C-alpha cells in the first residue's frame, strides 16, 4: 500500500478526525506489516506540519508520556497520528498492550490497572480506612464508626470541631485528591449563624429537613424546620444565585437552565409549605446579617 493511499482513505470525524481504523490490533497476523504502513502515514502527516513548531509527532508524544508516567509504560509500538487517534502502549505492571486515545494519555494510564486499583480500594479493610482517613481528616474521631466497606456509607464519624456525628461514603471520605469531610463544617456562614441562634435559644429543629412529598425531580431540602408546640415553622436562607443568574459556566444556556431550576425549586418549597399550612420565612442574601432578628420576629409573629 502506498503512502498516498492513506491520505485518500476516509477518516472518522470532522475538524479533528481520528484514524483508529488504521491502527492494527496486536493479535493480528499482519500486525508488523500494518505497523510499517502506519509509521509511513505518520511520517507523511509530519511532513505536512513542517514549519509548525507546536505540532506534535511520535517523538514528542513519547517524551511527554514519560514525563507524566515515568517508566510505567512501553512505547515501542506507539505511533502518533493526532490527538484523537489511538496509540498502542504496553503496561509493565500487568504486562499487556492497551489502546488509548493519544490526547488522553497525559491524564490516564492503563485501564486494566486502574480497575484493579479501584477494586482494591473498595476492598479496603477497616483499619486501613481509619489510617488513611486520619491523615486526611485530623479533627475526626473514628473510635465508634460502623464500617462495612468503602463502597458503602461509614456511619458514626465524630467531628471534634462541631461536636457532631455524621455519615460519609467511604470512597469519597478517603479520596486523596478531594476528600469529603464533615457536612456541618462545610455549611455556609448563614447556616451556621441560624443554627447557632436556634441552639442557643433552646429551639427544637431539624437542619436540611426532607420529606418524600417535597420534591421536584429529586427530594428537596428546607434549610431549617423548627418545632414549637407540635407545629412546624420553615426557614430558607437563599443565596445570591436564587435571585441573579450565576454565570459559572462558559455555556450561557446551561447557566440559564440552572437559574430556572433554582426558581422552580424555590416555588416548589413555597407551594409545599402553603399546602400544609406551615409558615415559611425566606431570608435573602441581602439580609444575612440580620438572621437572628428575622427568625425571632418570624416566630413571634406566627405563634
Tens digit of pLDDT for each residue in 245-286? 988 888 888 889 989 999 999 999 999 999 999 999 999 999
What domains are defined for the chain? 3-116 (no CATH), 123-173 (no CATH), 189-302 (3.40.960.10)
Q: Give the tens place of pLDDT for each residue, 206-217.
A: 988 999 999 988
Q: Poorest-confidence range of 7-11, 165-169, 295-299?
A: 7-11
Task: Give DSSP secondary structure letters for the chain.
Answer: --HHHHHHSPPBSSSS-B-GGGSPPTT-TTHHHHHHHHHHHHHHHHHHTTT-TT---HHHHHHHHHHHHTTSEE-TT-----TTSEEEEEETTTTEEEEEEGGGTTT---HHHHHHHHHHHHT--HHHHHHHHHHH-TTEE-TT-B-S-TTSEEEEEEETTTTEEEEEEHHHHT-SSS----TTTTS-HHHHHHHHHHHHTT-EEEEEEEEEEEESSSEEEEEEEEEETTEEEEEEEE-GGGTS----SS-HHHHHHHHHHHHHHHHHHHHHHHHTT--EEEEEGGGGGGHHHHHHHHHHHH-
Q: Residue 8 above 90 pLDDT?
A: no
Amino acid at each position: 500500500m502506498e503512502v498516498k493511499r492513506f491520505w485518500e482513505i476516509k477518516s472518522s470525524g470532522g475538524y479533528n478526525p481520528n484514524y483508529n481504523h488504521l491502527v492494527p490490533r496486536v493479535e493480528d497476523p499482519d500486525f508488523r506489516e500494518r505497523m510499517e504502513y502506519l509509521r509511513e502515514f505518520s511520517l507523511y502527516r509530519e511532513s505536512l506540519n513542517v514549519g509548525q513548531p507546536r505540532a506534535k509527532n511520535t517523538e514528542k508524544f513519547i517524551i511527554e508520556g514519560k514525563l507524566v508516567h515515568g517508566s510505567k509504560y512501553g512505547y515501542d509500538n506507539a505511533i502518533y497520528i493526532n490527538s484523537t487517534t489511538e496509540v498502542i502502549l504496553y503496561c509493565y505492571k500487568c504486562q499487556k498492550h492497551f489502546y488509548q486515545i493519544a490526547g488522553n494519555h497525559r491524564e490516564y494510564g492503563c485501564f486494566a490497572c486502574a480497575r484493579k486499583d479501584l477494586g482494591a480500594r473498595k476492598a479496603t479493610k477497616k483499619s486501613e480506612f481509619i489510617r488513611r482517613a486520619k491523615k486526611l481528616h485530623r479533627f475526626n474521631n473514628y473510635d465508634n464508626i460502623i464500617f462495612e466497606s468503602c463502597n458503602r456509607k461509614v456511619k458514626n464519624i465524630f467531628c471534634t470541631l462541631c461536636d457532631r456525628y455524621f455519615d460519609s461514603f467511604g470512597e469519597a471520605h478517603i479520596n486523596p485528591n478531594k476528600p469529603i469531610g464533615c457536612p456541618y463544617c462545610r455549611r455556609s456562614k448563614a447556616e451556621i449563624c441560624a443554627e447557632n441562634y436556634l441552639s442557643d435559644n433552646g429551639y427544637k429543629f431539624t437542619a436540611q429537613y426532607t420529606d418524600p412529598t417535597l420534591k421536584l425531580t429529586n427530594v428537596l431540602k428546607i434549610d431549617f424546620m423548627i418545632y414549637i408546640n407540635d407545629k412546624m415553622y420553615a426557614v430558607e436562607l437563599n443565596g445570591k444565585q436564587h435571585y441573579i443568574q450565576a454565570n459559572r459556566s462558559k455555556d450561557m444556556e446551561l447557566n440559564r437552565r440552572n437559574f430556572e431550576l433554582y426558581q422552580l425549586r424555590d416555588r416548589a418549597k413555597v407551594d409545599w409549605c402553603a399546602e400544609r399550612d406551615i409558615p415559611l420565612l425566606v431570608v435573602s442574601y441581602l439580609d444575612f446579617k440580620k438572621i437572628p432578628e428575622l427568625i425571632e420576629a418570624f416566630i413571634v409573629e406566627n405563634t
